[in-house]
Amino acid sequence: MRVYVALIALSLIWGLSFVFISILSEPAGVWGTVFIRCTAGALLLLPLLWFKRKDIIKPVPWKALLVVGVVNAGLPWGLIALSQTQIDSSLAAVLNAFTPIFTGLMGLLFFGSVLLKQQWIGIATGFIGILIIMKFDISLLFGESFVGIGTMILATICYGFSSHYARKHLKEAGIIFVTTCTLVVGAVFGGLMMLFTNTNQLHTLILNINSEIIFAIIGLGFFGSGIAHLLFFYLMKKRSPEFATSVTYLIPISAIFWGYFLLKEPISIQMIIGLLVILCGVYLTTRPKLTFRK
């Protein structure tokens, strides 16, 4: 029973994260949002890491931690924030459901995975879902929606690559250690990108801070980045990676719910149909186990 409560809680937190990103991305900027999100999450987990410091593996795999920190947090979270300056949080969450599909493709391209026929059908089905959302109008990819849709898809590609990379290079590292280091690296990456793009963004945020922004910082940083990661790894430990990643099916539904009630974002028929088609593709892609070349 507890694992199902944790699964639903995780979907609600990560679905709500898309709303928090929409709130923060304007006053904090794209990379300011990443910096705040990662910093808040790291501050929550650092005390836990201190108590678990004996579990830190030696030598510390710094290179792998840097790669995962950038590709699993800093870069994709910046791309998502950029995406949500162009499209609704609900649509961003629907596109986020592509993560398992691109996980399969990244495994095929870079990590020696072999995709089965059913998985190829799932990948094709997922892309049909995108076409349905765009009303089969490919020109949208070259218009105003190009940045919003394109950056969101790039974020899911980052997630797909980093999941394989972390499994390969950080398998023996502790959960809290990897998660905390990922957030610290993501904070540094977001801070550096902010310095190169807009150094006054955080100053502007501080001058215009209000209760809504504070709530978004707490929700996105402490809950969306810190507690959510612990819930995810709890599900992996108690059940399985397959059970934990099934949250992918629930996040878009949660995000559409939050976006409609909190941001008054419209829900279109083609979005619902496209989501269902994408989730069918995700199911076909993730259902069989991958085999690996020897």
- 214-248 pLDDT tens trace: 989 999 988 888 888 778 777 766 765 556 666 77
Q: Which of 92, 73, 69, 98 is nearest to 16 (CA)?
A: 92
E strand map for 78-231: 113-114
Q: Which two tokens stand for residue 264?
A: 């008054």
Please give the residue that has the higher pLDDT: either 130 or 193: 193
Please give the residue that has the higher pLDDT: either 185 or 162: 185
Q: Three-class SS of residue 155?
A: helix
pLDDT over threshold 90, residue 193: yes
- Residues in Cβ contact with 107 at an 8 Å cutoff, skipping those fewer than 6 apart: 113, 115, 160, 164, 290
CB 120 within 8 A of CB 284: no
Percent of the chain at pLDDT exceeding 90: 22
Which pLDDT does position 56 carry in this prediction? 81
Q: Which two tokens stand for residue 168?
A: 């390969």
pTM assigned to the model? 0.84
DSSP lists the bridge partners of residue 113 as 292
Which pLDDT does position 292 carry in this prediction? 42
What is the domain range of residue 18?
2-292
Mean pLDDT confidence for 6-18: 88
Number of domains in the chain: 1
> Please, what is the Cα angle at 147 between 146 and 152, to 5 degrees?
105
Which pLDDT does position 294 carry in this prediction? 38
- 39-81 pLDDT tens trace: 999 999 999 889 888 778 788 899 999 999 999 999 999 999 9
